[in-house]
Amino acid sequence: MAQAKSGDTVKIHYIGRLDDGYVFDTSANRNPLKLKIGEKRIIKAFEQAIIGMEQGESKTVKIQAEEAFGQYREKLVQTVGRSVFPADLEPKVGQRLTATSVDGRSVAVTVTDVSESSVTIDANHPLAGEDLTFDIELIEIL
C-alpha cells in the first residue's frame, strides 16, 4: 500500500489536545483537512508525522512546544496607552486584534488586560509554550 510522502496531497482527520486533555482544535464533524505535504502551511513536525502513513492508518504524535509554536516569551507582552487604539474601538480581554510592528509588519495580538488608561496586548501565539498532542487519521492520499 502507498505511503504518504513529501509532495503528496492528503486528506486527514485530526484531534489536537493539550497535556490537560483540552481539545484546542479538531476536524471532527467537518470535512477532512486537505493539505500538500511540504507546503509549510502547518507545523513542520505535524507534516513529518504524516510522512510514511498509509491510507486508513491512525497515529498519535506529541509535538514539543519548541517544534510547535515556540516557548512563551514575556517580551512579546506590552502595555500600551489607550490612545494608540481608534476612538471607536473598545478593547476587551480575550479580543484578537491586528497590530502593526515598528518595522511595519502586521502582528496578531490578544488583549490580556484593560484599564482606563492602558491596554495589555500579547503577541505570543495562543498555543505558545504548550506541548501539543495530535491524533491523526490519514483518510486519503490523492
Question: From the first residue on, what is the mean pLDDT of each consecutive set of 10 residues in the chain (142 residues)?
Answer: 96 98 96 96 96 98 98 96 91 94 91 97 97 98 97
Q: Is residue 15 located within the same domain as residue 65?
A: yes
Do residues 62 and 108 share a domain?
no
Residue 87 sits in a domain whose CATH number is 2.40.10.330
Check whether residue 13 and residue 64 sit in a common domain.
Answer: yes
Residues 57, 17, single domain; the answer is: yes
Question: Which residues lie across from 58 on neighbouring strands?
Answer: 137
Q: Within this chain, do residues 112 and 135 fall inside the same structural domain, yes or no?
A: no
Amino acid of residue 20: D
First to last CA, the chain: 13
Query: What number of H helices and E strands is found in the chain?
Result: 1, 9
100 — phi, psi (to 5°)? Answer: -110, 125
Q: Does some domain include residue 1?
A: no
Domain that holds residue 137: 9-69+128-141
The closest alpha carbon to 91, from 100, 80, 82, belongs to 82
User: How many Å apart are CA 94 and CA 96, to the nearest integer?
Assistant: 6
Strand partners, 47: none
Q: Looking at the structure, tell me whether residues 17 and 32 fall in a common domain.
A: yes
Query: What is the C-alpha radius of gyration for the chain, rounded to an integer number of angstroms?
Result: 19
Cβ proximity of 45 and 61 under 8 Å: yes
Split into its structural domains, the chain has a count of 2
Query: Are the C-beta atoms of residues 8 and 140 closer than 8 Å to each other?
Result: no
